[in-house]
């Protein structure tokens, strides 16, 4: 990445600075006094520039924790994005010089299966031909009317997921509160206390490819850069990969362009921008018309509701049979965000997610999810990876200690037991 920027950005920036400084230096007639003034002002400017950057960086504990987990990612995300060119690139060059490298850059295929996979020829092999995951963003369950919220934010979800063989799962929570950590645990066998399966074993996209599914990953946002590299190494293994759209409503249009209905089998991930901050970018006039007296966050949930309806209709028109699963990467503390480690009554909202399933085949997916409840009756959405494996025709032997030991990965990089963790911050 840095090599790409040396010629177009770093060298021209340095040359320009030298020429500019040299010119100014020669233009002003330097005597002893203004020579002192000149260097003092340069020193003061540099001092404040670096001091502010440094202060910004260490004032947020999350940056420091990010640094401990993955220094290159942390510098790239927090300094280079905010202070590009000189300070940003210098920090990254230094990080690189000291041997730190971005951890998740290699999009490689893996040979090894997770130990829970027994074989790839179960009795349901070939049965579930079309599996579609709508991966939402920052959707807090408590703002969905389908889960009892008083404002009518999800009229379409209520219709779609109340049909035969459908279900609206209660008490689901995400395995992390940030996108980067959560998605790899939904689509690989990585767990909050063990990320090695992400790096060393086949993920769900690879397993679908092996079973001759046509895999498609279509995303509203760009699946590159420091926030997404940890799951883009999964996404980019798809047969069809499309990113960077204008609006979530374009996702079904792009899907149609892929002629997906011509494939014998499909495994499709549609990744929304959903309800990510800033909320005012996540809805349009139609949402405002339908729900005039709600806050911006509710409008983003309503927008997602329309996106899901449009995807559902596209699938209905083009496929005889399919399974549609909707869940976001994580929840949201409305107006504050997610990935937060501060005491708040609504702390758990960043983990509390909707999880819904529609199936034209049978009620197997809804029944199977019920097997993933722990003693507190919670479903950790990282276990959805077993459901996908079974739908793809694999025989799976689930280690039940992974279900009972309900862990989340905190933004400090440590795994914690979910119930005790949320109580600590509430």
**Interacting residues toward Zn ion by CB under 5 A:** 137, 179, 329
C-beta closer to Zn ion: residue 195 or 201: 195
Give the chain's end-to-end CA distance (angstroms, integer).
41
> Which residue number, 214 or 276, has a Cβ lying nearer to Zn ion?
276
Q: Name which of 154 and 327 has its Cβ closer to Zn ion.
A: 327
Pairing of β 240-242 and β 379-380: unpaired
* Residue for token pair 């494939």: 263
Shortest distance (Å) from residue 179 CB to Zn ion? 3
- Cβ 178 to Zn ion, closest distance in Å? 6
Asked whether the beta carbons of 249 and 306 are under 8 A apart, the reply is yes
CB distance 89 to 80 below 8 Å: yes
- Hey, which residues does 333 pair with through a beta bridge? 337
Q: Length of the chain, please?
A: 426
For 240, the 3-state DSSP assignment is strand
Dist. CA 399–CA 84, nearest whole Å: 46
In b/e form, how buried is each residue of 106-125, taking b as 16+ CB within 10 angstroms?
eeeebeebbebbeeeebebe
Nearer to Zn ion, 77 or 390 (CB): 77
- Taking the C-alpha atoms of residue 354 and residue 339, their distance in angstroms, rounded to an integer, is 18
Q: For residues 201 and 332, which CB has a smaller minimum distance to Zn ion in the complex?
A: 332
How far apart CA 138 and CA 344 sit, in angstroms, is 17
**Dist. CA 356–CA 381, nearest whole Å:** 11
Distance in Å, CB of 195 to Zn ion, minimum = 18
**Is there a contact between 358 and 162 (Cβ–Cβ < 8 Å)?**
no
Shortest distance in whole angstroms from residue 168 CB to Zn ion:
21
Q: Report which DSSP code applies to 350.
A: G
Which residue minimizes CB distance to Zn ion?
A: 179
DSSP β-bridge partners for residue 269:
133, 217
Owner of token pair 């709600």: 294
Q: Min. distance of Cβ 221 from Zn ion in angstroms? A: 10
Task: Give whichever of 266 and 327 is closer to Zn ion, judged by the CB atom.
Answer: 327
* Residue whose CB is less far from Zn ion, 174 or 374: 174
Token output for 196: 């090695």
Of 137 and 223, nearer to Zn ion (C-beta) is 137
| Shortest distance (Å) from residue 279 CB to Zn ion | 14
Cβ at position 116, least distance to Zn ion in Å: 26
Closest CA relative to residue 77, chosen from 277, 229, 276, 271: 229
Indicate the residue among 298 and 329 with the shorter CB distance to Zn ion: 329
Closest CA to 211 of 324, 120, 115, 323: 120
Q: Considering the complex, what minimum distance in angstroms separates the CB of residue 230 from Zn ion?
A: 12
Least spacing, CB of residue 66 vs Zn ion, in Å: 16
């Amino acid at each position: 990445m840095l090599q790409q920027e040396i010629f177009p950005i770093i060298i021209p920036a340095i040359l320009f600075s030298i020429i500019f400084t040299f010119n100014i230096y020669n233009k002003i007639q330097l005597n002893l006094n203004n020579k002192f003034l000149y260097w003092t002002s340069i020193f003061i400017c540099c001092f404040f520039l670096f001091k502010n950057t440094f202060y910004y960086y260490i004032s947020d504990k999350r940056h420091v924790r990010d640094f401990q987990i993955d220094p290159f990612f942390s510098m790239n995300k927090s300094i280079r994005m905010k202070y590009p060119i000189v300070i940003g690139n210098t920090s990254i060059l230094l990080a690189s010089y000291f041997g730190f490298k971005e951890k998740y850059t290699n999009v490689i295929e893996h040979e090894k299966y997770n130990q829970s996979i027994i074989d790839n020829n179960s009795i349901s092999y070939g049965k579930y031909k079309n599996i579609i995951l709508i991966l939402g963003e920052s959707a807090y369950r408590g703002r969905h009317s389908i889960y009892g919220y008083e404002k009518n934010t999800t009229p379409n979800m209520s219709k779609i997921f109340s049909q035969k063989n459908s279900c609206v799962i209660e008490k689901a929570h995400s395995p992390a509160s940030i996108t980067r950590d959560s998605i790899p645990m939904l689509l690989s066998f990585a767990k909050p206390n063990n990320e090695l399966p992400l790096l060393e074993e086949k993920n769900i996209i690879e397993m679908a490819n092996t079973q001759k599914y046509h895999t498609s990953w279509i995303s509203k946002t760009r699946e590159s850069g420091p926030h997404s590299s940890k799951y883009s190494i999964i996404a980019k293994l798809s047969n069809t990969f499309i990113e960077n759209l204008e609006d979530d409503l374009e996702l079904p249009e792009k899907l149609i362009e892929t002629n997906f209905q011509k494939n014998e089998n499909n495994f499709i991930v549609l990744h929304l921008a959903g309800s990510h901050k800033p909320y005012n970018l996540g809805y349009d006039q139609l949402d405002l018309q339908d729900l005039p007296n709600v806050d911006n966050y509710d409008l983003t949930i309503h927008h997602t509701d329309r996106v899901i309806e449009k995807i559902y209709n596209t699938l209905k028109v083009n496929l005889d049979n399919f399974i549609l699963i909707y869940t976001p990467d994580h929840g949201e503390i409305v107006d504050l965000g997610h990935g937060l480690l501060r005491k708040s009554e609504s702390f758990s909202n960043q983990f509390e997610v909707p999880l819904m399933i529609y199936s034209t085949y049978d009620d197997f997916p809804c029944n199977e999810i019920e097997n993933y409840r722990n003693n507190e009756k919670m479903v950790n959405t990282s276990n959805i990876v077993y459901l996908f494996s079974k739908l793809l025709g694999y025989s799976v032997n689930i280690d039940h200690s992974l279900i009972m030991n309900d862990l989340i990965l905190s933004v400090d990089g440590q795994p914690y037991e979910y119930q005790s963790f949320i109580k600590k911050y509430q």
